[in-house]
Amino acid sequence: MRTLVSELSGKIGETVTVKGWVHSRRDHGGLLFVDVRDHTGLAQIVFHPDNQAVFAEAESLRDEYVISVIGQVVEREESLKNAKIVSGDIEIIAEELTILNRAETLPIQPFSDQQSGEELRLKYRYLDLRRPKMQTMLKKRAEMYKYLRAYMESNDFIEVATPILANSSPEGARDFLIPSRLQQGQFYALPQAPQQFKQLLMVGGVPRYYQFAACFRDEDPRSDRLYGEFYQLDLEMAFVENGEEVRSLMDPMIKDLVTKFAGKTLLTEDVPRIPYREAMETYGSDKPDLRFDMKLVDLTEVFANSGFGVFKNAASTGGAVKAICVKDGASLSRSQIDAFTEIAKSEGAGGLAYLTYKDGAVQSPIAKFMSEAELAAVQDKTGAEDGDAVFFGADVRGKVNAVLGRLRNEFATHFNLKDPNVVALAWIVDFPFYEMDEKTGKMDFGHNPFSMPKGGLKTLEETENKLEILADQYDMVMNGYEICSGGVRNHNPEVLYKVFGLLGFTPEYVEEKFGAMLNAFKYGAPPHAGCAYGIDRMFMELMGESNIREIVAFPKNGSGQDVMMASPAHIDKAQLKDLGL
């Protein structure tokens, strides 16, 4: 049995066996010093030339050789102790050495201050995982799973695994399809979420369900979204008719995860509930970062009769004129403002109008087009002071919110307003049940077709403008990231037919896609609600990491490829023939 490096300090005078990787090798005037690394730390091994056979073998050691050493643990001289490592007060006098495996020169250097590019590190991920940061990530992720599981079990949730080979369903993203060999011409789909299965568990009498669910979506990767697969803490509760019951139960779990697990500070002890429309109007986003203020200020009425044509046109034709005040914004250089202008244009803006306040005066190319009353109203409503800058958006309301919401986030990054040691949580509630698809010009589901519209069937039938119908849906946001999505489920077949029917889907289509759920609901389905937390994204933010590929063991690259395993890959004709393809 080997002794771990972290245990050596308590074994002075004993003979031990240490196994690990050669971390470094130093030749000091006849003595050979080798640092051996295991998952608990580094230990210094001393090879004396008196033990000729062992010494000769030790001279052949190179970095990352895997070795086993038997030797006596001795205390280092006081002047040679190293407080920076876990075994810094001892060393091992080698008696036996076994080379378990040799190593070629590594194509990447996991322990170097200068790391290789991401693509190369992903190709040799099994080496990159030796990096201390990655070892920490894997351990901390396991700790988070342990904490979450303990909370769920303590609140009487039952862990149930749902199928991976499932049916295709409209969850809002592309499915991964699996051709069937036994039923050729037909396809399974990897689940985008266990949505239907967990609702069927509620019908089956399970009072509270959870699992760490693998989910699969064919979406383009981003810095905060893995390609292909991700994991979520999925949960559902029977006999729940109000989303607040779910939210209230989950709040203590997430708050303790922030403070006790991650060691960070909550911005507020109470988690605010913010209606979707309020979030969009105030922050320009349905996942606002609340660590900083910089709210959107509506100035539409101020410029309703303005002499500045751009603002007047937006204000008088049903659009909006809004602004954000950026503290110390007057310090921005012309080139920096140009960079922010390009960001605004990427969100659909034609440009970026602004005012700066310096030495008691207003400076801007557009100031001359504004009246004294308008300039005074802008300063009063935005709270701008000397040294600040006010940036405007003028267009249809949705675009204005999107542009200023993006700029709000970018300005906060530029001025270091995102304290990494603070976590701001919020629930966004009351999402629109339907929305208008800008590409097709047709109405579509705004969030999740399985949620209950507020007011049920009566609201669906009596509301003239269907875009005003609200869903009992809710998202939790953490520092500008959506980390959870949930809702009160639609457990009434009549309502389910109606919500799809308003989009032109026939009862036959609903029965074909959701036949199992519809049939189950006919046999006594309890009201139920739940949510799902995105474990990867949540863990990324709690660890203060900006790249989600840094917090999982084997991610795909930015193009959705596994460069280590060379997938996706072509398959041979015999396999295709078996599948009827």
Asked whether residue 169 carries a pLDDT value surpassing 90, the answer given is no
The CA distance from 192 to 16, in Å, is 51
Per-residue model confidence (pLDDT) at position 170: 60
Any idea where the domains of the chain sit in the sequence? 5-101, 134-273+425-552, 292-417
For the whole model, what pTM was predicted? 0.91
Give yes or no for residue 172 having a pLDDT over 70.
no
By three-state DSSP, how is residue 434 classified? strand
Q: Which of 156-170, 396-410, 435-449, 492-506 has the highest mean pLDDT?
A: 396-410
At residue 171 the predicted structure's pLDDT band, cuts being 50, 70 and 90, is low
For the stretch 240-294, pLDDT in tens is 999 999 999 999 999 999 999 999 999 999 999 999 999 999 999 999 999 999 9
How far is it, in rounded angstroms, from Cα 75 to Cα 196? 62
- In angstroms, the CA 451 to CA 487 distance is 6
| CATH no., domain 292-417 | 3.30.1360.30
Report whether 62 contacts 56 (CB < 8 A). Answer: no
What pLDDT shows up at residue 3? Answer: 96
CB 510 within 8 A of CB 518: yes
Quick one: fold of 5-101?
Answer: OB fold (Dihydrolipoamide Acetyltransferase, E2P) (2.40.50)
Least confident of 199-213, 329-343, 504-518, 522-536: 504-518
pLDDT of residue 431: 94
Give the per-residue pLDDT at 514.
Answer: 83
Name the nearest CA neighbour of 193 among 155, 219, 154. 219
Residue 49 contacts by C-beta under 8 Å, 6 or more apart in sequence?
30, 31, 55
- SS3 breakdown of the chain: % helix, strand, coil, rounded to 5? 35, 25, 40
pLDDT in tens, 296-325: 999 999 999 898 999 999 998 899 999 999
Residue 148 pLDDT > 70, yes or no? yes
Q: Give the per-residue pLDDT at 552.
A: 94
- Sorted by sequence, the CB contacts under 8 Å of residue 124 that are 6+ apart come out as 106, 107, 108, 564
- Per-chain mean pLDDT for the chain: 93
Mean pLDDT of all residues in 204-227: 92
- The rounded distance, in Å, linking the Cα atoms of 483 and 224 is 11
Q: How far apart are CA 13 and CA 228, in angstroms?
A: 53
Q: How far apart are alpha carbons 119 and 56 in whole angstroms?
A: 39
Q: Is the pLDDT of residue 565 over 90?
A: yes
Confidence label for 464 from pLDDT (cuts 50, 70 and 90): confident
3-state secondary structure of 92: strand
User: What span, in angstroms and rounded, lies between the C-alpha atoms of 34 and 130?
Assistant: 18
Using 50, 70 and 90 to split pLDDT, how confident is the model at 157?
A: very high
CATH of domain 134-273+425-552: 3.30.930.10
**HEC per residue, 168-195:** CCCCCCCCCEEECCCCCCCEEECCCCCH
